[in-house]
Amino acid sequence: MTLDNRLGQRFLPYGANYLAWSDMTELKEVIDHQVLFRYQTETESMASRLERQVCERLGAVHTLAVHNCTEALRLALISTRPSIGDLVYIPAVTFVAVAGAVLSCGLIPVLVDADDSLSLDASLLPSGAQRVITAHMEGTVAPLPMGVPYLIEDCAQSLGARFPDGRHVGTKGYAGTFSFHHNKVLTSGEGGLLVTGDDDAWATMRCYHDHGSARVPGRYPTWNPDAHYGENFVTSEQVAAVQCQQFRHLDELLAGLERMYAIAMAQTPGRLDLEVRPRAEGDVKLSLRFRCESRELRDAAVTALTAEGIANWTLGKYLLPEHPVLTGRSSLYADGFPWNHAPEGPLALSRDGFARTRDQLERTLCVPLSPELSEPEQVLAAKAVRRVLEAV
């Protein structure tokens, strides 16, 4: 692939650029072993190896590998042993999967408006809130509300990010969830991780994700006398192998993002109507985020970048108050479950009906960074972005 192509239509995002047959030692090991189900062997499975490595790298107590981050969110919520119709406070700016996970558990999402960083504004939460999901969006470390017994950190877009005290996102709350979707920091196409420091919660999660069983590796599943039902969220060995390969490159990828972020920040366009939103030290530097003076300028910048083949995106798709899954309150259940358990009135907490947040999203533009490029290539990429934006 030529440099011009790599600067233009970005072929692969982040971790996908580190996929290579020559590097697939874990996948070869799994295929040679000829066992693709994690509980088929009494020795350490590839999924268990992944979970062990994640615990060591992130400082987590327990890790559970599942099919995707949505399942991880569901497991975290179900392990709190809620009642149908319980409220879960979620960010107004995030992917709709967060709301879908809440609803699929029979719970009711309440949208909480964003602060200036587009993270959940904890000052809007009512006292006594029991269940809150905070999303660390696009590598940004979000502030966490205090005193919430079941605080779930959605870290789908922020694997490797750290709080100011050095702890990894996902390890401070009741549970943390991570994604290996194609467009995330690391990828296996799909895949998810759930971490928790609560021993009882982890035991519940582990049983539920395997049909409620008390699984002993290498044996047919057994069920305790007080077993609850569960579902099948058990990951496969080949997916875990790809995730192990990706995880080996996490530090390399994060360092590449840091390097290109520093280069790009030194090449930002010199104009007052196009503000670069700085990222904090512990953020994963996935992109440059611009706050434009107007939506018209944002749209013009999108058009100019796209015409040059430079990847970019906007954030309006994350505004959940306008998403049909929430505005329509539709359900596949004949009785409207779980919406039929929702309280009367709007399920939203905002001082201005999300007007400020909507305005911020309409003026925000993101340009992804490319950690896999060499330093000279990163300089050229940063200069190309500056040239296009200065000419808008």
User: Hey, what's the torsion of the CAs at 211, 217, 218, 220, to 10 degrees?
Assistant: -30
The second-level CATH assignment, the architecture, of 14-249+319-348 is: 3-Layer(aba) Sandwich (3.40)
pLDDT(7) > 60: no
Are 144 and 132 spatial neighbours (Cβ–Cβ below 8 Å)?
A: no
pLDDT at residue 358 in the model = 97
Mean pLDDT of 83-100: 98
- Say which residue the tokens 């970019």 belong to: 312
Q: 3-class SS at 298?
A: helix
Domain boundaries, the chain: 14-249+319-348, 250-318+354-390
CATH number for 250-318+354-390 (one of 3.50.50.60, 3.30.1050.10, 3.90.1150.10, 3.30.1490.70): it is 3.90.1150.10
Instruction: For 130-149, write each residue's pLDDT tens digit.
Output: 999 999 999 999 999 999 99
pLDDT at residue 1 in the model = 37
Secondary structure of 335-346 in the HEC alphabet? CCCCHHHCCCCC
Please give the structure tokens belonging to residue 36: 């693709």
Percent of the chain with pLDDT over 70: 97
Give the distance, in angstroms, between the CA of residue 357 and the centroid of all CA atoms in the same chain: 20
pLDDT at residue 13 in the model = 81
CA-closest candidate to residue 119, choices 273, 250, 315: 315
Length of the chain measured in residues: 392
Instruction: For 253-295, write each residue's pLDDT tens digit.
Output: 999 999 999 999 999 999 999 999 999 999 999 999 999 999 9
Instruction: For 198-210, write each residue's pLDDT tens digit.
Output: 999 999 999 999 9
